């Protein structure tokens, strides 16, 4: 009589890891880019750092209503991806400044396109304060 072996069902995390591997192999560059910076808070951080380097509390204030832990996690992720640079200004008192790397600066046209799209489709016309012919960000 043959021995019947039963295959164990894969857990949710095992199935998710398999799907990530498949997606990494087949995803187009746009999809891969979205997975790196397509999160709402990541884009908000990049948007504010385009203007100028900021310290943690300045970013926290600019991105109103964001949990400090979430902001910290996003900054660590963006730094690990080479999008954000973290510079320790002093140790007593501890002060850190965040700025965009060259890789992060390359996202400026993307953020600008999102701003223009938002002005066109999400904002009432009388609320838009930027003239579409003038750039939002100064370099």
> Is residue 136 included in any domain, yes or no?
no
pLDDT digits (tens, 9 = 90+) for 33-58: 887 777 889 999 999 999 999 999 99
Do the domain assignments include residue 77? yes
Comparison of pLDDT for 1 and 7, the residue scoring more? 7
Q: What domain range is 95 assigned to?
A: 16-123
Residue 130 has pLDDT above 80, yes or no: no
Residue 6 falls inside a structural domain: no
pLDDT of residue 124: 76
* pTM, to two decimals: 0.69
8 inside domain: no
110 in any annotated domain:
yes
The total domain count for the chain is 1
pLDDT tens-place string over residues 104-117:
999 999 999 999 98
Q: Is residue 137 part of a domain?
A: no
Q: Does residue 99 fall inside a structural domain?
A: yes
Residue 134 falls within a domain, yes or no? Answer: no
> Looking at residue 91, which CATH number applies to its domain?
1.10.10.10
Q: Kindly tell me if the per-residue pLDDT of 129 is higher than 60.
A: no
Question: HEC states along the chain?
Answer: CCCCCCCCCCCHHHHHHHHHHHHHHHCCHHHHHHHHHCCHHHHHHHHHHHHCCEEHHHHHHHCCCCCHHHHHHHHHHHHHCCCEEEEEEEECCEEEEEEECHHHHCCHHHHHHHHHHHHHHCCCHHHCCCCCCCCCCCC
């Amino acid at each position: 009589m043959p021995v019947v072996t039963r295959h164990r069902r894969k857990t949710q995390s095992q199935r998710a890891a398999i799907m990530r591997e498949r997606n990494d192999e087949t995803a187009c560059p746009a999809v891969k880019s979205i997975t790196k910076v397509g999160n709402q808070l990541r884009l908000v951080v990049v948007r504010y750092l385009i203007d100028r380097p900021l310290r943690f509390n300045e970013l926290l204030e600019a991105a109103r209503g964001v949990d400090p832990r979430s902001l910290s996690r996003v900054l660590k992720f963006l730094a690990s991806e080479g999008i954000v640079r973290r510079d320790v200004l002093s140790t007593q008192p501890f002060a850190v400044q965040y700025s965009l790397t060259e890789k992060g600066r390359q996202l400026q046209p993307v953020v600008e396109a999102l701003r223009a799209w938002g002005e066109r489709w999400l904002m009432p016309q009388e609320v838009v304060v930027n003239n579409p012919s003038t750039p939002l960000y100064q370099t």
